[in-house]
Amino acid sequence: MTSTAIQDERYTAAAAEFGGAIQRLARAYEADADPRRDLVQDIHVALWRSLGAFDGRCSLRTWVYRVAHNTAASHVQKRRRWRPERSATLEALAEVADPDNPEAAAGERQALSRLMAIIQALGPPDRQVALLYLEDLDAAAIGEITGLSAGAVATKIHRLKALLTRRFAEGGPA
């Protein structure tokens, strides 16, 4: 089998297994529908290209998340050059004014909208940790993907949970 055929086979398997996670990640990084579709496409292209160099030293899941998050972070940086937007760290987000979200429906939809607003307000490193945590990865796996220590990841997760608890207990907008 040729290297391109192996690359295609790996990509097909990865896209089938992690396609939903890629969609969720793109939704968290990009609120607008058209740029979100571009981001999903960019992630898939980057994933296909990268699988030619995949040597199995980490799990396929770790590889896919690393490629997806790196591509999304690059996307955010490129968009920021053209359209400055405000983002914050977890530490600073507690002090940032809550954005209004008039489109939010009641119940779960409103809670999800509030959660997404908080995540989208985070800077790329904190956003990456939050999204990987929401994908049910543990601190060690998140650290492997992001390059942070497991302790630093655990601290960020703890701060994010505390922030979310405060925001949702207040009952106000995200």
- The CATH number assigned to the domain holding 43 equals 1.10.1740.10
Q: What is the pTM of this model?
A: 0.61
Of 49, 66, 85, the residue that ends a domain is: 85
Instruction: List, for residues 58-67, the tens digit of each pLDDT value.
Output: 999 999 999 9
In whole angstroms, give the CA distance from residue 68 to residue 17. Answer: 14
Residues 94, 174 within the same domain = yes
Phi, psi of 147 (to 5 degrees): 90, 5
Helix (H, G, I), strand (E, B) or coil at 89: coil
In whole angstroms, give the CA distance from residue 129 to residue 132. Answer: 5
Q: What's the domain count of the chain?
A: 2
Instruction: List, for residues 128-168, the tens digit of each pLDDT value.
Output: 888 888 888 889 989 888 888 999 999 999 998 888 888 87
Instruction: List, for residues 64-81, the tens digit of each pLDDT value.
Output: 999 999 998 888 777 766
Helix (H, G, I), strand (E, B) or coil at 149: coil
Residues 32, 96 within the same domain = no
Of 47, 65, 85, the residue that ends a domain is: 85
Q: Show the tokens assigned to 125.
A: 């490193």
